[in-house]
């Protein structure tokens, strides 16, 4: 009986030590993933959810990280993912409820906002214009406040705000 207890104890210790060494966790991503929601109240169901990664300027220019006149993934890593829980009007155009990718084409005075059917794509490398659901233009404004990390937020009226550095872009979403 004593021999069985000792052997069982040794086996348990070995299993625990193997499991502890088997887990390798990734370091913090340099462009951490974030999500933003459009909802009418804190506990109300969401109308829109955007999941995106937040690159940092780190003394680089926005035009280097998101060049003008080129399709951008709207963040870092995977293309931003946008889920519409209801049919929505975006910039005056109706988009059916569903899951999409959010791409943008930055510009000095306006950005092109693109809702695309392809999902779970890395960056904009495999962007396919034929999969676009809508393209709309959104004006660029400037802010006195500079944002180090690319950010997306919704206001209480349903306007999606994109901000990075001193650049701001507003896109209205209507239920």
What pLDDT digit, counting tens, does each position of 114-170 carry? 999 999 999 999 999 999 999 999 999 999 999 999 999 999 999 999 999 999 999
Cβ–Cβ under 8 Å, residues 81 and 99: yes
pLDDT at 69 over 60: yes
Q: In angstroms, what CA-CA distances link 142 with 65, 94, 129, 145, 163?
A: 18, 28, 29, 9, 9
Residues 6+ apart with CB under 8 A from 170: 138, 139, 141, 159, 160, 161, 162
Q: How many CB atoms lie within 10 A of CB 34?
A: 15
* Domain-wise residue ranges, the chain: 26-174
Percent of the chain with pLDDT over 70: 87
* Nearest-angstrom CA–CA distance, 27 and 12: 29
Beta strands in 71-131 (DSSP E): 80-84, 88-90, 93-95, 98-105, 110-116
Q: Which two tokens stand for residue 64?
A: 């280097």
* Nearest-angstrom CA–CA distance, 10 and 16: 10
Q: What rounded mean pLDDT belongs to the chain?
A: 90
What is the structure's pLDDT at 9? 59
């Amino acid at each position: 009986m004593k021999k069985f207890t000792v052997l069982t104890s040794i086996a348990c210790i070995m299993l625990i030590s193997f499991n502890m060494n088997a887990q390798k966790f990734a370091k913090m991503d340099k462009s951490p993933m974030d999500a933003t929601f459009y909802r009418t109240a804190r506990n109300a169901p969401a109308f829109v959810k955007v999941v995106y990664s937040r690159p940092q300027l780190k003394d680089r220019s926005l035009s280097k990280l998101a060049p003008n006149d080129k399709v951008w993934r709207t963040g870092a890593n995977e293309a931003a993912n946008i889920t519409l829980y209801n049919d929505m009007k975006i910039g005056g155009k109706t988009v059916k409820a569903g899951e999409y990718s959010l791409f943008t084409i930055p510009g000095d005075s306006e950005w092109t906002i693109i809702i695309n059917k392809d999902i779970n794509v890395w960056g904009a490398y495999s962007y396919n214009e034929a999969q676009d659901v809508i393209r709309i233009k959104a004006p660029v404004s400037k802010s006195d406040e500079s944002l180090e990390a690319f950010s997306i937020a919704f206001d209480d009226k349903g306007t999606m705000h994109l901000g990075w550095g001193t650049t701001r872009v507003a896109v209205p979403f209507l239920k």
